Amino acid sequence: MSTLDNCIFCKIARGLLPSRKVYEDDEIFAFDDIHPLAPVHFLIIPKMHIASMAHVGPEHGALLGRMLLLAPQLALAQGCRPYPEGGFRILTNTGAEGGQEVAHLHVHVMGGPRPWLKG
Ligand code: 5GP
Ligand code: ZN
């Protein structure tokens, strides 16, 4: 599995930095965002280092599909209410102008009762 020694999300996925784990399998790790913008706010990441959505190719299709398929299931498990009254937001910032701060691909999943801190 590719990792970067100076990447905080690679370290979180390997358990070298602490996090509140939401989910883990052999390819994927999910954990609470340290600065939640909504009552439920967690991140789904691939364990392998992929810098952003600008770095994915056809070889990542199954992995990305699995990450997205986990989002609704984990959102409910973390306390989001069911669709349509509840629901959740999925967001992936990409690059500087896309608002990306951590250069390891991550899917934000946000939900829970309004108002949220942002959006
Ligand atoms: P971005 O702006 O790159 O889309 O989002 C990065 C997210 O990672 C931010 O929401 C930020 O709060 C979160 N984050 C940054 N460093 C850490 C950390 O060390 N632990 C956790 N749990 N979240 C982090
Ligand atoms: Zn990484």
**Residue ranges making up the domain that contains 84:** 3-111
For ligand 1, the distance from its centroid to the CA atom of residue 26, given in whole angstroms, is: 22
| pLDDT tens per residue across span 53-100 | 999 999 999 999 999 999 999 999 999 999 999 999 999 999 999 999
The CATH number for 15's domain is 3.30.428.10
Instruction: Tell me, yes or no, whether 94 lies in a domain.
Output: yes
Contacts of 78 (CB under 8 A, 6+ apart): 22, 40, 42, 109, 111
Q: Closest ligand 1 atom to the C-alpha of 99?
A: 2
Instruction: Tell me, yes or no, whether 119 lies in a domain.
Output: no
| pLDDT at residue 119 tops 90 | no
Catalytic residue from among 41, 49, 104, 106: 106
| pLDDT at residue 118 tops 90 | no
Could you write out the DSSP letters of every residue in 32-56?
A: E-SS-SSSEEEEEEESS----GGG-
Instruction: Tell me, yes or no, whether 118 lies in a domain.
Output: no
Ligand 1 site, residue 93, Cβ cutoff 6 A: yes
- Count the domains in the chain: 1
Instruction: Tell me, yes or no, whether 34 lies in a domain.
Output: yes
106 is catalytic: yes
Global pTM value: 0.98
Instruction: Tell me, yes or no, whether 100 lies in a domain.
Output: yes
